[in-house]
Amino acid sequence: MKYIDEFRDGELAQSIARAIKAEADPASTYHIMEFCGGHTHAISRYGLEDLLPANVRMIHGPGCPVCVLPIGRIDAAIWLARQPGVILCTYGDMLRVPGSKRLSLLKAKAEGADVRMVYSTMDAIKLAQSNPDRQVVFFAIGFETTTPPTAVAIKQAQALELKNFSVFCNHVLTPSAITQILDSPEVRELGTVKLDAFIGPAHVSTIIGSRPYEYFAEEYQRPVVIAGFEPLDVMQAVRMLVRQINEGRFEVENEFARAVTRDGNEKAKSLVADMFELRRVFEWRGLGMVPYSALRLKEPYAAWDAERRWDVPQDNPGDNKACECGAILRGVKKPIDCKLFGTICTPENPMGSCMVSAEGACAAHWTYGRFRDLEKSE
Amino acid sequence: MTLPRRAHPRPLDIQNGRVDLTHGGGGRAMAQLVEELFIAAFDNEALNQRNDQGAFEVPGGRMVMTTDGYVISPLFFPGGDIGSLAVHGTVNDVAMAGAKPISLSAGFIIEEGFPLSDLKRIVTSMAKASKDAGVPVVTGDTKVVEKGKGDGIFITTAGIGIVPPGVEISGDKARPGDAILVSGTMGDHGVAVMSQRESLGFETEILSDSAALHTMVAAMVAAVPGIRVLRDPTRGGLASTLNEIAGQSGVGMLMEEALVPVKPQVLGACELLGLDPLYVANEGKLICICAEEDAPRLLDIMRSHPLGRDAARIGACREDAHHFVQMKTRMGGNRVVDWLAGEQLPRIC
């Protein structure tokens, strides 16, 4: 298939794998963090670990917007869904995420709340138009990729003078999260987690461009390669990073040039800048309170802000204490290091966020790669 | 007084009429619905006797019986509807034992207010599917539930069939070394239904593969009575069905991604929705597990049947205490192909 098959060519993957093996110094170990859940998913789904030499280690980062949303925000969405007359709509993979007391939007729906899955923000607008006597709340989540469509929906609601549409905004920002990881004591001081390089986000970068990563590369002296989500993209990015590490360079390189430019999508960026402002601080699951890492609607758009329309609870009950999602999201631990992994925490009965989303590190490892743990133990 | 010549002076107003509670009440209105719609459509000797059961001759052999419920949304989709699907699904469940389907029953649970025109469309399609398959609906039941207590229409079916002597097909018979075959492309039905449900306008229309597979199965069983396992990968798709068989038989499986047939347009739709075609439902495909030496012959038979043109050998069973279904990816790596957890939900980005 055009634009897909080209990036899933097995022979080409094998030849890149040979090149990585030839270039990787056997005396060194290369620790490469892929920030995005999309990359984590690709690595697991296509079995790319089998193609990499043992001294090139992939560390799964926090880049799944579903995984990083704290329990309190899920609880708040469930609370909104239960308000009289409300239809709460959101993207599919949010529905199963457990809040506190093992409740999820799917369970709230089964108990009578009107929760709908939508494919786009425009579906949410249509819902509001076709249900004038109900309040339609769009539970907006995601990184820079999904923010512009939320902005477009609000513009549309404004143009249509829709009084029954609002957004529960949970959009978060990638660069702040990367800074938080690099500034964490494990990475910066203790050295318990070695991070030599980053594979930079694909879809996020189509919006913000590659320029925001130049700061990391220089300030933290870590090379970054922006890469697409196809398996050959990931393999090529690993090769480019191994080469940069070998040469002692720390630059931002763009493997995903077919979709990403240095400055990104100016129109989308200006739309977002016009409508949203930074929250002073926002909690990320696993990373804690991250300054200036999330967005909220600006005052002129307050009419479409669910948090202003309702007195949305701001509590955060916190994660299950035995759950290691926090450490796994920061790359400090692997899924197999968590006592709950595969015992009481599975995709059917997820305890933590990393197991909930298909792109979470635990779900990806359980679903695609757990045979490796058994092979090692036998 | 002159008695009306017909039991029901006014025929059902199919075009504008709606199902109401009297249509399920057991009285004259229900009798009229059954007579003018169901019996007229399914029209066969056993049903026309209007008993509460259908009597028919059966040949000798082992008998199989199956039952199924259909609660699909939307009711009409590209390539089929709930009616034809109910016939195909039940015929296939019977056929997956290597059996010849003999007859079907159909129970309709209809929501008050359901348009008679839609009901007629469904029943007509169901009757055609049953006639095309040569498997009559010999008995049925109609209930009407109050508005808001149903989802338009639910259909439940039962099917019975006869297994020819010497055929012992069952999910626990796969052995290490056996070949795994599929009769065609994966995921067509699920994507066709989803494209309607979510109003996704794909450039190429993807049709459901809904079809009755019993004639292809009859040819396969006649040539190779020793087929180990037959199963149609419906809900949960190929991946879940293989996991089911691996567990039942106590084997592992290894398939090759490059050998699994998937239509490019289905692959494209799955990419767009963040779904994996291995987990998407099929309604006109089967999985066959057989001794390696029987595989070429069975593939030839499937490929010479119109419903098995894209049949392929996708892998083999193997020893594995964990009963993992694994797949060698196009990239050359290995991965587990796990059970589907809950329902496939589209990813956010």
CB contact under 8 A, A91 and B348: yes
Residue type, B108: F
In CATH terms, are A10-65+174-254 and A71-170+287-309 the same topology?
A: yes
What total number of domains does chain B contain? 2
Same domain, B58 and B156: yes
* B113 domain-assigned: yes
Q: For residues A46-66, b (16+ Cβ closer than 10 Å) or e, as one string?
A: bbbbbbbbeebbbbbbbbbbb
Tens digits of residue pLDDT in A249-284? 999 999 999 999 999 999 999 999 999 999 999 999
Domain boundary among B163, B189, B204: B163
Confidence of residue A76 (pLDDT cuts 50, 70, 90): very high
Contacts of A95 in chain B (CB under 8 A): 345
Range of the domain at B130: 21-163
| Predicted pLDDT of residue A321 | 83
Tens digits of residue pLDDT in A153-209? 999 999 999 999 999 999 999 988 888 888 888 777 766 778 999 999 999 999 999
Q: Give B200→chain A minimum CA distance, Å.
A: 9
| Predicted pLDDT of residue A378 | 67
Would you call B272 an interface residue with chain A, using a CB distance cutoff of 8 Å?
Answer: no
| Predicted pLDDT of residue B268 | 87
Contacts of residue A315, defined as CB under 8 A and 6 or more positions apart, other chains included, come to: A72, A75
* B275 domain-assigned: yes
Confidence of residue A320 (pLDDT cuts 50, 70, 90): confident
Tens digits of residue pLDDT in A37-71? 899 999 999 999 999 999 999 998 888 888 889 99
- Mean pLDDT per block of 10 residues along chain B (349 residues) reads 62 92 87 93 92 86 94 92 97 97 97 97 98 97 94 96 94 97 96 77 82 98 97 94 96 97 92 87 97 98 98 98 95 92 64
* B13 domain-assigned: no
> Per CATH, is A10-65+174-254 categorized as 3.40.50.300?
no
Contact status, residue A58 vs residue A292, Cβ threshold 8 Å: no
CB contact under 8 A, A1 and B335: no
* Homologous superfamily assigned to A71-170+287-309: HypD, alpha/beta domain 2 (3.40.50.11740)
The domain that holds B271 is classified in CATH as 3.90.650.10
Contacts of A47 in chain B (CB under 8 A): 328-329, 331-335
Instruction: Number of helices (H) and strands (E) in chain B: give both, helices first.
Output: 10, 13
| Predicted pLDDT of residue B1 | 47
From the list A93, A145, A371, which residue is nearest B345 (CB)?
Answer: A93
Would you call B258 an interface residue with chain A, using a CB distance cutoff of 8 Å?
Answer: yes
Task: Tell me the average pLDDT across A81-87.
Answer: 97
User: 3-class SS at B265?
Assistant: helix
Q: What is the pTM of this model?
A: 0.87
Same domain, B105 and B193: no
Q: What is the CA radius of gyration of chain B?
A: 22
Domain boundary among B163, B189, B219: B163
Count of Cβ atoms closer than 10 Å to residue A274 Cβ: 12
* B349 domain-assigned: no
Q: Rounded CA gap, A333 and A322, in Å?
A: 13
A·B CB contacts under 8 A: 108
| Predicted pLDDT of residue B144 | 96
A296: β partners = A277
Would you call B338 an interface residue with chain A, using a CB distance cutoff of 8 Å?
Answer: yes
Q: Average per-residue pLDDT in chain A?
A: 92
Tens digits of residue pLDDT in A94-124? 888 888 888 899 999 999 999 999 989 999 9
Contacts of A370 in chain B (CB under 8 A): 336
Q: Between A359 and A108, where is the model more confident?
A: A108
| Predicted pLDDT of residue A96 | 84
Write down the domain spans for chain A: 10-65+174-254, 71-170+287-309, 319-359
* B342 domain-assigned: no
* B170 domain-assigned: no
Contacts of A10 in chain B (CB under 8 A): 258, 329-332
Least confident of A132-146, A268-282, A334-348, B315-329: A334-348
Same domain, B48 and B111: yes
Contact status, residue B55 vs residue B46, Cβ threshold 8 Å: yes
Same domain, B217 and B304: yes
Backbone angles phi, psi at B256, to 5 degrees: -115, 125
Task: Tell me the average pLDDT across A220-246.
Answer: 96
CB contact under 8 A, A93 and B324: no
* B173 domain-assigned: no
Same domain, B188 and B158: no
* B187 domain-assigned: yes
Same domain, B32 and B114: yes
Domain boundary among B163, B191, B214: B163
Write out residues 171-210 of B within 8 Å (CB-CB) of A: 198, 200
Contacts of A371 in chain B (CB under 8 A): 322, 324, 326, 334, 336
Would you call B346 an interface residue with chain A, using a CB distance cutoff of 8 Å?
Answer: yes
Contact status, residue B173 vs residue B130, Cβ threshold 8 Å: no
Q: For residues B43-71, b (16+ Cβ closer than 10 Å) or e, as one string?
A: ebebbeeeeeebeeeeeeeeebebebebe
